[in-house]
Amino acid sequence: MEHTSIFMSAMLWIIVWGALGGIITPRIYARRDLDISQASLGGAAVGAALGPIGLIPLWIYTPRFTTRILTIASLMIVGIIVVAFAQADPDNLCVTNGDFVISQLSNGLVIGVIYSLMALGLTLIYSILGVVSFAHGEFYMVGGMVVYYFSVFPLYERFNTQLMNAMQQRYLLWFGQTTWYENWEALLLAIPGSVFLILSAAVVTFILGVLFELMFLRVMNTGQIERPKEYAILVTFGLAFFLQYLVQALFGANPVKVQRLFPFPDVELPSAENSWLLDMSPGNLRLFDAISIPNPRFTAAVISVVLLLLLMWFLFRTWTGRGLRAVSQDQQAAAVAGINPNTMSTLAFGMGAMLAGVSGASLAQVFAWLPQVGIPAAARSFVIIVLGGMGSLPGAFVGGILVGLVEMVGV
């Protein structure tokens, strides 16, 4: 890097003004009895993007933080980083090769969506129980291990083979031996088995989370624990070590990797001779001759998006989800309204563990899987929820995207 001072100045601007915005903004909003759920994230984003030019009007008018404001501020931060980097190191590949940058940013968005799913689970637990689960990474690890060992279990292999043979005969009756069916056959046959594996990881981690909350965390609500926050840290740390070494004792310490869950069909658009728009093969997807995304990452992102949409529907469209949100805002008021905070706490911890497990299940086809794989994943989740604001679901999503982009741009 030729001009390090330029890049360091930009980073200093983002850090200093972002920190000031994140610290001062929620205090100003609280003093005026305004909603502070997004104040830390919004203040940090506006401060990092515009500095005093944005913070002074923000503190005077105290607008409600909308998705549009957060998105614009985040894009401005990314723009500052990109421009500063281009000025500091003009000969870097990220500056001279536009296709490479586009491909890396696309992969960053894809991996960021997956990180968001895991961080949302940790945020959900914190917003309801008020504790940070240090076992979150181990639920992520268990999800990946469940997918792998179920996929190589002889009974599953025999059942899946019989199911695929039966489906193949049915599909041949429906579609015939056409070119279209030959291209899509592998994906169509893989869907039931892969969905079963992901659901298995979700069920196992959900049950583990529920049982742990009932046995070790429920007691915090009875007043029998003198220092509940410290107690929660200790027991979740203990669970993390227990799960890690249990998996290592049962299955060994050798790395494993899941095969592709959903192989792509062979598709070329607009034609096989000129596939500039879309070139899809079983292991890779290429768009516009510039964006290349490996199959495992793309399918993991699709799984994450589907689960994120289901989570949003559950939280905002069902009575149970509304009960969770009510408890996260005010447990006493929710109890007066007839909502059982203990039940909601158990459900929240189980769902948080499940989200981490499904994140691991989808990423087990991307990374080599070890019993220790949950440690960096948990650390990444802590960074994401701090970036997005503790207890903020939209903030966790934005934080996951930012971490994914930073990781891929830094490669």
Q: What is the rounded distance in angstroms from the CA atom of residue 114 to the CA atom of residue 130?
A: 24
Q: What is the rounded distance in angstroms from the CA atom of residue 266 to the CA atom of residue 282?
A: 7
Shortest CA distance to 217 belongs to which of 235, 242, 237, 239?
A: 235
Contacts for 105-109 with beta carbons within 8 Å, 24 or more apart? 105/405, 105/408, 105/409, 106/287, 106/291, 106/293, 107/293, 107/297, 107/408, 108/401, 108/404, 108/405, 108/406, 108/407, 108/408, 108/409, 109/401, 109/404, 109/405
Name residue 280's amino acid: M
- Reading the block at residue 139, the tokens are 């639920």
DSSP 265: P
Radius of gyration of the chain (CA): 23
Q: What's the predicted TM-score (pTM) here?
A: 0.78
Could you tell me which residues are beta bridge partners of residue 280?
Answer: 267, 285
HSE (side-chain half, CA atoms, 13 Å) at 36:
16
Name residue 380's amino acid: R
Shortest CA distance to 152 belongs to which of 208, 207, 197?
A: 197
Instruction: Give the three-class secondary structure for 27.
Output: helix
Shortest CA distance to 130 belongs to which of 391, 326, 340, 344?
A: 391
Length of the chain: 411
Cβ atoms of residues 353 and 137 within 8 Å: no
The alpha-helical segments, DSSP class H, found in 89-133 are 93-96, 98-129
Cβ atoms of residues 350 and 149 within 8 Å: no
Element (H, E) at 267: strand 267-269
Residue 113 Cα to chain centre, angstroms: 5
- Reading the block at residue 237, the tokens are 């740390």
CA-CA-CA-CA torsion sign (298, 302, 307, 312): positive
Q: What is the pLDDT along the chain (411 residues), one digit of tens a residue?
A: 566 788 888 889 999 999 999 999 999 999 988 888 788 888 999 999 999 999 999 999 988 888 888 889 988 988 888 788 778 777 766 666 666 777 777 878 888 888 888 888 888 888 888 888 899 999 999 999 999 888 887 777 787 777 777 777 777 666 666 666 667 777 777 788 888 899 999 999 999 999 999 988 888 877 777 888 888 889 999 999 999 999 988 888 888 888 888 888 877 777 767 777 777 777 788 877 777 888 888 888 888 888 888 988 998 889 988 988 888 888 888 888 888 888 999 999 999 999 999 999 988 888 888 888 888 888 888 888 887 777 777 778 888 888 888 777 666
Q: What is the rounded distance in angstroms from the CA atom of residue 144 to the CA atom of residue 271?
A: 38
User: Given strand 284-287, what is the order of strands in its sheet?
Assistant: 267-269, 278-281, 284-287, 291-294
Instruction: For 258, list phi and psi in degrees, rounded to 5.
Output: -80, 140
Question: Where does residue 109 rank: exposed (0-12), middle (13-18), buried (19+ CB within 10 A)?
Answer: middle
Q: What is the pLDDT of residue 64?
A: 87
pLDDT digits (tens, 9 = 90+) for 21-69: 999 999 999 998 888 878 888 899 999 999 999 999 999 998 888 888 8
